[in-house]
């Protein structure tokens, strides 16, 4: 005669040995390893994009008839960024995953925030360096024209000195865009890191 499922269930769990709880150990080790791997995976896409951008800037500029140097400045900027990101990835990969997951998580969090701050600083300095030569070039090259005429909007009859406002505006814009992309791209990982660090700190206390 077949046993009922209720009977199998009860009989199966009569012996307490059946329900041995696994030991809670290395609770955060695997989590921290996964987070580190995820962060590296995400960061690894950036150098590839930067290399493509560097190539596009050089040949794209040349293709639309601009001077070779104007594209080169942007490309050099991308290549510098490329090396900074590569260095950051290497730092994260070198962070010791084996010994202490709390230290590992702390170093990941620190590296992530340092990466954000370094890139923000780079944008504050690099963007004006990138834009200024283009603005100066345009200013002298189209000296006779008004601001509106340069952009094909004749009604904007401002002096072409106004072109220089593009430098601070462009810089602020690039920083804002970067910070927003960081917030939505890396923000969840940064929050998770912070949560795990807080968990471990709570345990320590």
> CA-to-CA distance for 28 and 106, rounded, in angstroms?
13
Number of residues that bind other proteins (CB under 8 A): 22
Nearer to other proteins, 27 or 176 (CB): 27
Which parts of 22-81 interact with other proteins (CB under 8 A)? 22, 24, 27, 30
Measured from the CB of residue 82, what is the shortest distance to other proteins in angstroms?
30
Query: Which region, judged by CB under 8 A, interacts with other proteins, from 7-15, 63-71, 81-89, 106-114?
Result: 7-15
The answer to whether 124 and 168 have CB atoms below 8 angstroms apart is no
Q: Establish if 9 lies at the interface with other proteins (CB under 8 A).
A: yes
Q: Which is nearer to other proteins, 13 or 68 (CB)?
A: 13
Cβ of residue 95: shortest distance to other proteins, in angstroms? 23
Closest CA to 78 of 60, 56, 100: 56
How far apart CA 89 and CA 95 sit, in angstroms, is: 10
Looking at beta carbons only, is 11 or 67 nearer to other proteins?
11
Q: Which member of 5, 144, 152, 154 binds other proteins (CB under 8 A)? A: 5
* Least spacing, CB of residue 24 vs other proteins, in Å: 6
Is residue 18 involved in binding other proteins (CB under 8 A)? yes
**Measured from the CB of residue 155, what is the shortest distance to other proteins in angstroms?**
53
| Interface residues toward other proteins, by CB under 8 A | 1-3, 5-6, 8-9, 11-13, 15, 17-22, 24, 27, 30, 199, 203
């Amino acid at each position: 005669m077949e046993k009922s499922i209720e009977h199998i269930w009860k009989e199966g769990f009569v012996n307490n040995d059946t329900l041995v709880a696994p030991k809670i150990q290395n609770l955060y080790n695997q989590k921290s390893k996964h987070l580190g791997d995820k962060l590296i995976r995400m960061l690894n896409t950036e150098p590839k994009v930067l290399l493509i951008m560097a190539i596009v800037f050089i040949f794209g500029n040349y293709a639309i008839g601009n001077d070779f140097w104007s594209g080169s400045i942007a490309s050099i900027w991308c290549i510098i960024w490329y090396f900074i990101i590569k260095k950051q990835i290497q730092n994260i990969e070198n962070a010791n995953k084996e010994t202490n997951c709390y230290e590992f998580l702390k170093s990941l969090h620190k590296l992530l925030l340092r990466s954000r701050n370094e890139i923000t600083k780079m944008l504050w300095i690099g963007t004006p360096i990138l834009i200024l030569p283009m603005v100066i070039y345009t200013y002298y090259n189209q000296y006779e024209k008004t601001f509106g005429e340069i952009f094909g909007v004749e009604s904007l009859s401002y002096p072409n000195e106004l072109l220089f406002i593009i430098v601070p505006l462009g810089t602020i814009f690039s920083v804002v865009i970067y910070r927003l992309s960081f917030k939505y791209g890396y923000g969840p990982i940064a929050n998770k890191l912070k949560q795990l660090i807080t968990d471990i700190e709570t345990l320590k206390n």
